[in-house]
């Protein structure tokens, strides 16, 4: 009987009319290890945008193909090759870390596929290395930290110790911070995946600055903040960070010790616009136990951008038309103002947020003021497309 049923169902399967294949979107992201929650946010944010439209983007059926890069540039490259050559995927997104992006993105965009970044915006791909197939929805790395530099200047700090891991995004971070800050900066480079920052804490204490700026995304940020508080530094030296070093997950893991931090961001959950309210509500309904971070928001915006382009073109077979539609950025971003600059990186506003104790006691971001209005990035002028 059972065999018969199986045979019958197999038969039923083969006689069904074959449906049109959904458009595949390749997602290369970091899902394992301490930075795994960053990739999880990107995956879930993108999926949320798709679910909001009932499995479609811009009226076109889409399907995510997700692979974990394990924060290894070589893996990212391999996955991209597999996506393009074996699965025929022409639209790729998802990379969190600039070192993975640096190895993977050129391979994608030089092979007539589109890459849309939901996070990493390394400097080497923003200027002379720009490409017509490469779009960044999040921010250019430097501009993320230029906002923090501007905030530090506005707060009247003169002497700052700046710390970041010794890799592309870390160097971009300190360069960006210095560009807008203009004061005296002592640079300290840490190592990617470092866990114990005690030596750096001692150096900060010895330098006795007006404030500390640090860029440590993911698990590194948790360890850094905890140790900063434990070393008793938070009482004397204020800390100012850019958004990746104080996301909701980091704040939850650090707890009330994070209250009093200052951060700069391009987006916050309390922004008063329809697109943002819809996203925040949908996220809270679907992931009640996970805070929505900028990573999730950026990926959601990637979804909205793709939807806006697909609505015009109906597919990506005509790559030129799809690219042109993307470039128009004809969507309402959850962050408010958004358009692409000449290098297809965002031109957007930046804000300062205070970190305060929320109604449930957990620390949260409250938007304080707009710092910069409609800014792009310094590399745009070098881009010849």
Partner 1 sequence: MILFLEQLLNGLQYGVMLFLLAAGLTLIFGIMGVINLAHGSLYMIGAYAGTLAAMQTGSFWLGVPVALIAAALTGLVMEAVVIRRLYARDHLDQVLATFGLILFFNQSIILLFGRQPMFTQLPDLFSGAVEVIPGLPYPSYRLFIIAVGLLVALGLYLIINRTRIGMLVRAGSTNREMVRALGVDIRLLYTLVFGLGALLAGLAGFLAGPVLAVQVGMGEQILLSTFVVVVIGGVGSIKGAFVAGISLGVIDTMLRAFLPGMLRQVMAGPEADALGVGISSMGIYLLMALVLLVRPKGLFMAGS
Applying CB under 8 A, which residues contact partner 1?
Answer: 31-34, 36-37, 40, 166, 187-191, 193, 195-196, 198-199, 202-203, 205-206, 219, 222-223, 226-227, 230-232, 249, 252-255, 289-290
Rounded to 10 degrees, the C-alpha dihedral 116/117/121/123 comes to -30
- Residue 221 CA to residue 124 CA, distance in Å, equals 25
**Would you say 33 or 314 has its CB closer to partner 1?**
33
Q: CA-CA distance, 193 to 224, in Å (whole number)?
A: 11
In 3D, which of 79, 75, 88, 76 has the Cα closest to residue 24? 88
- CB-nearer residue toward partner 1: 254 or 279: 254
Contacts of 187 (CB under 8 A, 6+ apart): 162, 163, 174
Phi and psi at residue 78, in whole multiples of 5°? -60, -45
**What span, in angstroms and rounded, lies between the C-alpha atoms of 79 and 69?**
8
Alpha-carbon distance of 70 to 57, in angstroms, equals 28
Q: What is the smallest separation between the CB atom of 113 and partner 1, expressed in angstroms? A: 28
Which of 37, 283 has the CB closer to partner 1?
Answer: 37
Closest separation between CB of residue 146 and partner 1, Å? 19
Q: How far is the CB of 160 from partner 1 (least distance, A)?
A: 15
For residue 226, the minimal CB distance to partner 1 (Å) is 7
The first and second tokens of residue 247, run together, are 């996301």
Task: Name the token pair of 216.
Answer: 């440590």
Min CB(267)–partner 1 separation in Å: 20
**Smallest separation (angstroms) from partner 1 to the CB of 368:** 26
Give the Cα separation of 155 and 354 in Å (integer): 13
Judged by beta carbon, residue 216 or residue 335, the one nearer partner 1 is: 216
Dig out the tokens for 263 from the structure: 């951060």
- Alpha-carbon distance 30 to 120, whole Å? 12
To partner 1, the closest distance from the beta carbon of 66 in angstroms equals: 14
Q: How many CB atoms lie within 10 A of CB 286?
A: 14
Q: Give CA separation, 308 vs 82, 122, 329, 354, in Å.
A: 27, 25, 7, 33
How many other C-beta atoms lie within 10 A of the C-beta of residue 103? 19
In terms of CB distance, is 227 or 367 closer to partner 1? 227
Nearer Cβ to partner 1, position 21 or 289?
289
Q: How many residues does the chain have?
A: 385
Strand partners, 114: 91
Nearest distance from C-beta of residue 21 to partner 1, angstroms: 30
Q: Are 212 and 240 in contact (CB under 8 A)?
A: yes
Among 20, 123, 125, CA closest to 63: 20
What Cα–Cα distance (Å) separates residue 342 from each residue in 102, 110, 233, 328, 377? Answer: 20, 19, 43, 11, 10
Q: Given the complex with partner 1, which of 193 and 373 has the nearer CB atom?
A: 193
Smaller CB separation from partner 1, 101 or 162: 162
Paired strand residues for 262: 240, 354
Maximum Cα–Cα distance across the chain:
81
- Looking at the Cβ atoms of 159 and 370, the one nearer to partner 1 is 159
Q: Which is nearer to partner 1, 85 or 230 (CB)?
A: 230
């Amino acid at each position: 009987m059972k065999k018969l049923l199986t045979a019958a169902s197999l038969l039923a399967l083969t006689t069904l009319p074959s449906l049109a294949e959904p458009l595949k979107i390749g997602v290369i992201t970091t899902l394992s290890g301490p930075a795994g929650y960053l990739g999880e946010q990107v995956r879930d944010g993108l999926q949320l945008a798709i679910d909001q439209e009932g499995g479609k983007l811009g009226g076109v059926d889409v399907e995510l193909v997700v692979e974990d890069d394990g924060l290894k540039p070589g893996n990212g490259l391999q996955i991209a090759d597999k996506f393009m050559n074996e699965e025929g995927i022409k639209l790729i997104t998802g990379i969190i870390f600039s070192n993975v992006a640096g190895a993977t993105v050129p391979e994608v965009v030089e092979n007539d596929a589109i890459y849309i970044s939901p996070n990493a915006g390394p400097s080497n791909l923003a200027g002379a290395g720009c490409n017509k197939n490469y779009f960044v929805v999040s921010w250019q790395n430097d501009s993320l930290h230029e906002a923090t530099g501007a905030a530090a200047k506005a707060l009247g700090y003169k002497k700052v110790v700046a710390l970041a891991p010794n890799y592309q995004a870390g160097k971009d971070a300190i360069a960006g911070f210095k560009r807008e800050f203009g004061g005296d900066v002592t640079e300290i480079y840490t190592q990617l995946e470092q866990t114990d920052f005690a030596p750096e804490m001692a150096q900060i204490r010895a330098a006795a600055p007006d404030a500390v700026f640090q860029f440590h995304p993911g698990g590194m940020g948790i360890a850094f903040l905890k140790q900063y508080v434990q070393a008793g530094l938070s009482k004397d030296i204020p800390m100012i960070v850019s958004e990746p070093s104080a996301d909701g997950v980091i704040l939850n893991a650090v707890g009330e010790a994070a209250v009093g931090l200052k951060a700069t961001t391009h987006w916050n959950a309390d922004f008063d616009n329809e697109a943002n309210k819809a996203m925040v509500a949908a996220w809270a309904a679907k992931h009640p136990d996970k805070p929505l971070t900028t990573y999730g928001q950026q990926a959601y915006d990637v979804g909205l951008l793709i939807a806006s382009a697909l609505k015009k073109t109906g597919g990506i077979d005509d790559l030129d038309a799809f690219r042109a539609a993307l470039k128009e950025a004809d969507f309402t971003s959850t962050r408010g103002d958004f358009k692409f600059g000449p290098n297809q990186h965002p031109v957007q506003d930046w804000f300062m947020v205070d970190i305060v104790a929320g109604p449930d006691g957990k620390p949260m971001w409250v938007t304080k003021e707009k710092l910069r209005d409609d800014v792009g990035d310094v590399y745009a002028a070098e881009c010849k497309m």
